[in-house]
């Protein structure tokens, strides 16, 4: 039996939750593998956020090229997995921590690298995805 109109079903919610767990655990593992002292440049957060932007570009290209893709692809991968993988809150805390430590230049470089790098990564992922998915047909 389906869900009432406009209400998410249990399969959708479970898929998003599982995707979120996978993304969050992966993000935690990167933080353990690439720790940074408080007040130093947060390479792990930058890596996670840029790779998440690249993956989102690939996902968007895949979904646009395949209008009949599984209905759970976007919410499970985009909202769940990539939502758990990337982290705006950690980015914001890292910027404030750098500023508090007197590293204004690094904080500015981090903001620019995150923003411009993220936009570039989504663009590269989208363009690469369009080419990859078309070659696979």
Q: Is 33 exposed, middle or buried (0-12, 13-18, 19+ CB in 10 A)?
A: exposed
CB 62 within 8 A of CB 74: no
d(CA 30, CA 69) in angstroms, rounded, equals 30
d(CA 54, CA 127) in angstroms, rounded, equals 10
Confidence (pTM): 0.86
Cite the DSSP H helix spans in 34-68.
43-65
Structure confidence at residue 133 as a pLDDT band (50, 70, 90): confident
Token pair in block for residue 68: 């009949």
d(CA 7, CA 134) in angstroms, rounded, equals 34
The string of pLDDT tens digits covering residues 67-119 is 888 999 999 999 999 999 998 999 999 999 999 999 999 999 999 999 999 99
* pLDDT for 3: 64
Which one is predicted more confidently, 133 or 9?
A: 9
Residue 4 has pLDDT above 70, yes or no: no
Residue 1 has pLDDT above 50, yes or no: no
The string of pLDDT tens digits covering residues 31-62 is 999 999 999 999 999 999 999 999 999 999 99
């Amino acid at each position: 039996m389906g869900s009432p109109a406009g209400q998410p079903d249990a399969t959708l919610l479970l898929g998003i939750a599982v995707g979120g767990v996978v993304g969050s655990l992966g993000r935690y593992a990167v933080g353990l593998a690439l720790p940074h002292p408080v007040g130093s440049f947060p390479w792990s957060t930058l890596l996670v956020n840029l790779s998440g932007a690249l993956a989102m570009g690939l996902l968007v290209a895949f979904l646009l090229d395949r209008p009949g893709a599984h209905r759970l692809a976007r919410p499970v991968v985009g909202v769940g997995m990539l939502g758990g993988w990337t982290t705006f809150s950690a980015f914001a805390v890292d910027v404030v921590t750098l500023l508090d430590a007197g590293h204004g230049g690094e904080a500015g470089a981090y903001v620019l690298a995150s923003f411009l790098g993220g936009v570039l990564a989504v663009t590269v992922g989208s363009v690469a995805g369009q080419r990859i998915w078309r070659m696979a047909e």
